[in-house]
Structure 1
Amino acid sequence: MEFVSAASIKEGVSLLETVADQPGSIQLILASTGPGKEIIGQGDIVELTFKSKQVSQTVASQIKVTSASLADGQGVEYAAELSSVTIQVTAGLSGDINHDNKVTVGDLAIMAANYGKDTSSPDWEQVKQADLNGDGKIDIEDLVAIAKKIKK
């Protein structure tokens, strides 16, 4: 897996710094922005985006939070609950939207027909393979990426 980006998804919590200078490790520093914006209980705080590397066979990969600390307004620190997710990466040709083992104008047409869709689209699960860069939307960057893959 290759780290792409991180973004705060909790209102009032800012992502101040992302450090990804060691392979296999990412450090995020976040802060709430005042009273009433504290992180309390369980919930989603950060959205992490990864993209898989090309694989020749289906493999499983795991993304883990191995250390997480929180502090309250008085500076008292707490260890946050750790979590992990296992992702299955399937072999295939990136950009082969119609699964014919080649990247052609047909794949570009399918992508263009779904242009503008994102993770909030009701059919996202069916079209997300057209999100080549894994940023959660089908946009001009994806169209350009697939256009560069089309073989004459």
Structure 2
Amino acid sequence: MKQIFEAIAEYAQVYEKLEQLQEAHRDLMPKGDQKTGVIAEFYARLYAQFAYPGAHLIYGTTSEHAWDITIQRDGYADHKIQVKAVSIHSTTSRVSNIHPGWHELYLLRLDRALYPEGFWTILASDAPWATEKIVGKTMPHRARSGSGSQIFRQACDKLGELNAVLQRSRA
């Protein structure tokens, strides 16, 4: 019993630290209390900065369902990215509902350290189902061929690119 209370207290301290960082660095971390999603969106933002150099990036609010990050570039229409994430702690690997209105979908699988162990992207123009609300789909797993829902099979594996971006960002 004591270990449970100690673990809760430790988690509360780290949770509070993330809350403070979210408040102090709104341009880097989105608001929200689902920390797995917040962390995934942070990684997604770093990748989007790499993929769209010179663009202005804006986080959506917690009430925005169609997109999590908007890319704004001179001479281009806004590009909306929806981010879906699961951690190794998920027993089902089921992603939350995918709402229509996005231009690009980022799929992130996080390991025990909440670091990406899988990262895929899908353009709405390559996904005939992008105009529909999608429910109950599962995240692929890089170590398991054919894993995840069929609709994610055409996703581009970009974990190597993301890891390179994260390495540069940590330096």
- Provide TM-score, normalisation by structure 1: 0.30
* Structure number with higher strand proportion: 1
* Structure number with higher helix proportion: 2
- Provide TM-score, normalisation by structure 2: 0.28
